[in-house]
Amino acid sequence: MPKKFYITTPIYYVNDVPHIGHAYTSVATDCLARFKKMEGFDVRFQTGTDEHGLKIQKAADKLGIKPMDLCDKNSKIFEDLTKMLNLSNNDFIRTTESRHVEGAQNLWDKLQKNDQIYLDEYEGWYSINDETFYNEKDLIKGEDGNLKTLTGSPVDWIAEKSYFFKLSEWSEKLLELYTKNPNFIKPESKRNEVISFVKGGLKDLSVSRTSFKWGIKTPNDSDHIMYVWLDALTCYPNGVGYLSESKNDLSDFWSETTHIVGKDILRHHAVYWPAFLMAANLELPKRIFAHGWWTNEGNKISKSLGNVIDPINIISEYGLDQFRYFILREVPFGNDGDFSIKALKNRINSDLSNDLGNLCQRSLSMVHKHLNGNIPNKGTLNLSEEKLIKRSEKIIEESINLMNNQKIHEYIKLIWNYINDVNKYFNDQKPWELVKNDIDRFNTVLNITCDLIRRIGIIIYPIMPDTSNKILKMINIDIKELSFSSINDYSVDGIKINPLSQLFPRID
């Protein structure tokens, strides 16, 4: 049986429409999921929507509609985005689904039975935008003199009856977890931030509300609803039935889980979430990886500045795989990055059109022009050609280690170095001269180049699945299910290639 691998995006809040941050997280997670599947793993990939909380209730009230109507409308927008981004997710979970409500309440029951929840009164600062409680030391004073979060969200002082989770009792256990499992939180800089936060001391966490009703009722007290983060975090095990009363055949995936999150919600995933799970005597995920934020032309992205980047507009104008390639290649995964149309155009014209597109166009055009579209059989290979072929296997070996550590940027860089070397091979061999005076050598060079293009078509699949399929279709290779183990299973000898299509038109 293949090994299991479960990877998740955060569930996206439905009070607003998708932006580049949602698309970035989703595409990166998709790339990792596709890679693991090609590596031979049994993969589950989940995304979805977070639909409870005061922010949703207020947004619905402002529109004069019911919260559920707002959730249905906006959740569909996020689900449609999964198709536009060509995601390979197996599941799309909503926190208003019965399977989720059941799992969330089951976790509450386990915490209560383990004496981890008690009733008291909450008094403190709360951000509706972040659905998060803050200590005053973690807030900043805005220009208007009012306290705000680091993301600029306003906070309100609230006081109400609340159930509390005994988070303060889990500081040492959390620090022990981080020490014994240094790869539990990645990248390293984010792990250090979390450790510093926990060492600073943890206070018990308010985990219920009574001032509004749009949420999951606590199973022991119908006057309270669950704190939206305790509710939302259970979406991950709920997607595979791990918190269900009757476990299903997917629940084994839970022990092989990787969460991909934005750095703004790392504390919830790396502190609160493992504390909840340990307190309930449940298994922990394997890894939590926090990526950075995007700016727009060097400026912080915000609705007030009017510079929110709509991924749908970018994809419509420049192409899906062009967009996927840019956001995965432009910055190391885990760092902050700057989005600019100029940088996007440069990547398209240089890396995609010049490097990959021209390689396919120039070589395959020669097959059509001089060989009636039939790839010739190869002759005797020289040492450099044998090394180029073997190097594709080496790239896969190196990529497995890189992708196991979420180094997507390095994986792409490795492939592009290979593409550049294949271009150099083609240019150095000068097939346009060989066709005039050494047809046997010409045939071998075209055969080798076509085979190298086939290999490139396979190894770029996690990054640009549509482009991968186009390349393989052009050279008439029909692979039912792509895998790295089959890199050597196909021969291009004698294949009749299909008409060419321009992979990446240049952008002016």
Residue 371 belongs to domain with CATH number: 1.10.730.10
Overall number of domains in the chain = 2
Same domain, 470 and 407: yes
503 within some domain: no
Do 271 and 413 lie in one domain? The reply is no
Domain end call among 292, 325, 355: 292
pLDDT at 463: 98
Residue 326 maps to a domain? no
Indicate the length of the chain as a whole number.
508
Of 229, 259, 292, the residue at which a domain comes to its end is: 292
Our measurement of the distance from residue 325's CA atom to the centroid of its chain's CA atoms, rounded to an integer in Å, reads 13
* pLDDT at residue number 302: 65
Q: What is the CATH number of the domain that holds 146?
A: 3.40.50.620
CA-to-CA separations, 10 to 128, 215, 353, in angstroms, rounded:
18, 18, 33
Domain that holds residue 251: 4-292
Q: Do residue 224 and residue 152 come from a single domain?
A: yes
Q: Do the domain assignments include residue 335?
A: no
Q: Looking at the structure, do residues 350 and 244 belong to the same domain, yes or no?
A: no
Tell me if 267 is assigned to some domain.
Answer: yes
Angstrom distance (rounded) from CA 241 to CA 250:
7
Same domain? 345 vs 227: no
Q: Do 264 and 348 fall within a single domain?
A: no
Instruction: Give the pLDDT means over successive 10-residue stretches in the chain (508 positions).
Output: 95 88 96 98 98 91 95 96 96 97 97 96 79 80 83 82 96 98 97 97 94 93 93 97 84 96 95 98 98 85 72 95 97 92 96 97 96 94 94 96 97 98 97 96 97 97 97 90 90 94 92
Claim to verify: residue 279 and residue 367 sit in the same structural domain: no
- The whole-angstrom separation of Cα 58 and Cα 193 is 33
Residue 448 covered by a domain: yes
- 363, 214: one domain: no
* 277 and 400 fall within a common domain: no
75 and 218 co-located in one domain: yes
Q: Is residue 305 part of a domain?
A: no
Confirm whether 329 is domain-assigned.
no
What pLDDT, on a 0 to 100 scale, did the predictor assign at position 127? Answer: 82
Tell me, yes or no, whether 265 and 364 share the same domain: no
Instruction: State the greatest distance between any 2 C-alpha atoms of the chain, in Å, as a whole number.
Output: 89
CA–CA gap between residue 44 and residue 239 (Å, rounded): 9
pLDDT of amino acid 143: 78
Predicted TM-score (pTM) above 0.85: yes
The residue assigned the tokens 């031979």 is 40
In-domain check, residue 219: yes
Statement to judge: residues 288 and 347 lie in one domain: no
